[in-house]
Amino acid sequence: MNQKRLAELFDENFSRFGELGAAVSIWQNGKSILELHGGFRDSAREIPWAADTIVLFWSATKGLGSACLLHLLQERQIELTRRVAEFWPEFAQAGKGAITFGQLLSHQAGLCALDEPVDVTDYPAAIAALEKQAPLWPPGTGHGYHARTFGFLLDELVRRIAGITMSEYWEKNFADPLELDIWIGLPDSQQGRVATIYAAKAGGTATPAAFYRDLATPGTLVRKAFTSPRGLHAVSDMNRPENRARPFVSFGGIGSATSLAKFYAMLANGGELDGRRFFATATIAQMTTTLASGHDRVFQIPTAFSAGFMKDPSGTTRRLFGPSSVAFGHPGAGGSHAFADPEHGISFAYVMNQMEQSLLPNEKSLRLVDAIYR
């Protein structure tokens, strides 16, 4: 791995590609091998991005939530083929009784949008709406990204099975033992370290184009998926301390690149780090094994999912997770990116505060990923 070349590419993100503040962390075989940060926490360029700066990384949180649920299923010896309604009886309403954990985790449940208008900050209302919601396609016959509902589904299952919230489960089983600087629901004591997040600048190229066209069109599945539960649609909303403090499992994770890469380093290292085992080999296999692949009904491009993690679909020309077919991870809106490559023992995380109009990781992080393997 050419660390000098990686540092040059990272610097180019600021000089050529308009990055404001960012950090990248790369681990191999359970050890950090590259830590870089630069730029600023604010658009006025008054507060430098420091080694301990943390930032919102949007949907990269879904990977953490998925790992929590898989860990819980592992500890309780619950298979992915079991029905969700066995553990959450009210979920069986409206034809959802046969949906399995595997289908739910791989975005095949058909619950990417809600017919009932409920607020994203009203957890009980969102859960009640999900219980009443009929699948938008026959579960298991296709997949479509559950942009907002995914976190509520996972959180409720952890509450039903473990009796604690997802945020508490994350802290108890991963954040504390691994000393991770990552929060799902940020405490007041940490607010002073957070970089301000900025929406994509106007005038850029939005990709994929069909997705962004439908996102702006009322009544489309894309629009419904990204606006239900409704509320907090402006990027700037997530700069308010009260919203950073909300434990949104779909998009609320705040932390450092180093800790995000350290978590994935444990996954890339067979579920073990520093002599402590977190996941059995069989559970890591659930993360690496593709359960759904092909046309995504929401993203409108080919995507692939294992149990809760994104993978590169077969035949893709632009790989998000490196050359290995077993690699898996989860990006976040606007440019954040994290993954594990168990084949090469590599983990990677990139976080930043100036978003781009890109649904999936863009060249700022993908050039770095390419350079790791070159």
Among 265, 64, 40, 266, residue whose Cα is nearest residue 151 = 64
Would you list the domain boundaries of the chain? 3-373
Average pLDDT score over residue span 323-346 = 97
pLDDT digit string, tens, across residues 52-99: 999 999 999 999 999 999 999 999 999 999 999 999 999 999 999 999
As a whole number of angstroms, the distance between CA 113 and CA 50 comes to 38
How much of the chain, in percent, has pLDDT values that exceed 90?
Answer: 92
Q: Of 38-52, 185-199, 217-231, 272-286, which range is least confident?
A: 217-231
| pLDDT value at residue 210 | 80
The answer to whether 166 and 184 are in contact (CB under 8 A) is yes
Sign of the torsion angle spanned by Cα atoms 358, 54, 268, 285: negative
| pLDDT value at residue 206 | 67
Cβ burial of 159 (10 Å; 0-12, 13-18, 19+) is middle
Q: Which residues have C-beta within 8 Å of that of residue 202, sequence separation ≥ 6?
A: none
Tokens of 340: 């594990």
The answer to whether 299 and 212 are in contact (CB under 8 A) is no
| pLDDT value at residue 209 | 77
As a whole number of angstroms, the distance between CA 361 and CA 370 comes to 13
Q: Report the DSSP pairing between strands 31-39 and 253-255.
A: unpaired
What fold does the segment set 3-373 form as a domain?
A: Beta-lactamase (3.40.710)
Q: How confident is the model at residue 217 (pLDDT cuts 50, 70, 90)?
A: confident
The answer to whether 191 and 241 are in contact (CB under 8 A) is yes
Q: How confident is the model at residue 147 (pLDDT cuts 50, 70, 90)?
A: very high
How much of the chain, in percent, has pLDDT values that exceed 70?
Answer: 99
* Peptide linkage before 361 cis (omega within 30 of 0): no
Tokens of 281: 């080999």
Q: Of 212-216, 252-256, 276-280, 300-304, which range is least confident?
A: 212-216
pLDDT digit string, tens, across residues 281-310: 999 999 999 999 999 999 999 999 999 999
Q: What is the full DSSP assignment across 230-272?
A: B---SGGGGGSHHHHTS--TTT-EEE-HHHHHHHHHHHHTTSE
Give me the torsion for CA of 155, 161, 165, 167, rounded to 10°.
Answer: -70
| pLDDT value at residue 315 | 84
| pLDDT value at residue 31 | 98
| pLDDT value at residue 113 | 97
* Peptide linkage before 208 cis (omega within 30 of 0): yes
Q: Does this model's pTM top 0.85?
A: yes
| pLDDT value at residue 64 | 98
